[in-house]
Structure 1
């Protein structure tokens, strides 16, 4: 059985683990001492690893790395929440923790790297070298797969549970199960060095999504030509991938 290292057992990491643990042995990390025993009780090998600001001391390099077949990094690296210096320090800790790893590796980026303007955005419109965070992960791991994730949804994360503005705007969302299945597909195909937008291919308005989640019927009220749409066509074509949750109006079903 292949061994997967999952760095970051937060909201997304824990759900990816639930999906992929059926076929792979999971080794993971958490920043919370309180969560450690809870994770271990699920039969998952877990260790503490903190990469954030203010951590004077840091854990030794991850001892399991030489035995891993795949590493998935879900630890967030947000330019909106951290300065470039803080992010550089965080990457330095991450690189020291992983060490040399030349097998398959995944990094969770975000569609927020694209301009907040109307239009259809594809991967070719923005190189990783021109994105601060993506450029840094590629310096450490040149063959890394970068997944630009849409708004994370699934389970209790439903649009109706958020304070929402601009209800006429369309969504660029993704269900966590599709993220996990895309990763599994890429592992199966032994894909390296790719950048993919991981976003559900349908883009209803926020009003439509909330109405569906509240079991209400409304007419379609937006014009996609005037909206910001993140395209997942490259992923669909190259991986021959069929989304489990293609329509965000059905994420709650």
Structure 2
């Protein structure tokens, strides 16, 4: 089975390595010469792709990238991007155009989405509870619009994975918060997922007969921000972040029952408080 990974960064590259070990033929895209060499050195068929990728620009070096069974679409919008909705929509529309063209053999897309599509308000959110006019931030609106663009095609099947905040190994949110003071929402629950579980979910989807749907990919545990990040700071031996105790803390939880039930999935790292990860 052939899989193409559009976006071989912090998640896409280790996913490619795992899939190679499992016997998949893996193609990966990158924009940098350094990552191109890294992909090749690790047995990934490397391709240079810059989006928006217009059909007229699909030369021989990139067109074979689309000759796979499945595409893992893993390109985030970027929070600081100006006109993020427009720029990200253009990228996703360009991908869809290629997927619907004669240059593509892709039968299924697994789209790495985000829980930012949900509003930043009190509640426990299932996959059906989205509104493009009520997302948490502009990047969330961009991602939700991207979901609509990809899912509306009738020429390939799409599974959407709404990942929570990503962490694992050398990456942890506390490293950005370390030493800061006056951080808002100390008791707001976190919605995170470990890199290892992200990879395992994609592997599970590739083996499943389920070919379309939308799923929240968030770990079971939702400890308060203050509890988690101060504990993690002690574990990583960095200055503890300090929180504004008088600021509001909304109880916003992303539910993962659909993913667990339909795929019989259990998390290796169900609780972000496990700092051995």
The alignment's TM-score, normalised by the length of structure 2, stands at 0.77
Listed as ranges, the gaps of 5+ residues in structure 1 are none
2-structure distance, mates of 1:168, 1:247: 16
SS at match of 2:211: coil
Q: Residue 150 of structure 1: CA displacement?
A: 0.3
1-structure distance, mates of 2:7, 2:186: 32
2-structure distance, mates of 1:46, 1:144: 24
2-structure distance, mates of 1:91, 1:9: 16
- Deviations along 1:97-120, one digit per CA (max 9) or x if unpaired, are 444445222001100000000110
Q: Residue 241 of structure 1: CA displacement?
A: 0.4
Contact 1:62 1:97 survives alignment (8 Å): no
Q: Within 5 A, what are the aligned runs for 1:174-193?
A: 174-193=193-212
- The two structures, once aligned, show a CA RMSD in angstroms of 2.8
Query: What count of residue pairs does the alignment treat as equivalent?
Result: 241
In structure 2, the CA distance between the partners of 1:138 and 1:80, relative to structure 1 (3 Å rule), is farther
SS at match of 1:18: helix
2-structure distance, mates of 1:146, 1:20: 19
1-structure distance, mates of 2:148, 2:221: 29
Q: Residue 39 of structure 1: CA displacement?
A: 1.5
Listed as ranges, the gaps of 5+ residues in structure 2 are 133-140, 237-244
1:5 aligns with 2:24: no
- Deviations along 1:172-208, one digit per CA (max 9) or x if unpaired, are 0011111111111111113212100000011011222
Q: Residue 3 of structure 1: CA displacement?
A: 1.7
1:114 aligns with 2:135: no
- Aligned partner of 2:265 among 236, 241, 245: 241
- Deviations along 1:143-189, one digit per CA (max 9) or x if unpaired, are 21001010011121113202273332211001111111111111111
For residue 155 of structure 1, what is the aligned residue in structure 2?
169
In structure 2, the CA distance between the partners of 1:91 and 1:79, relative to structure 1 (3 Å rule), is farther
2-structure distance, mates of 1:244, 1:237: 16
In structure 2, the CA distance between the partners of 1:138 and 1:73, relative to structure 1 (3 Å rule), is same
For residue 128 of structure 2, what is the aligned residue in structure 1?
124
For residue 240 of structure 2, what is the aligned residue in structure 1?
none
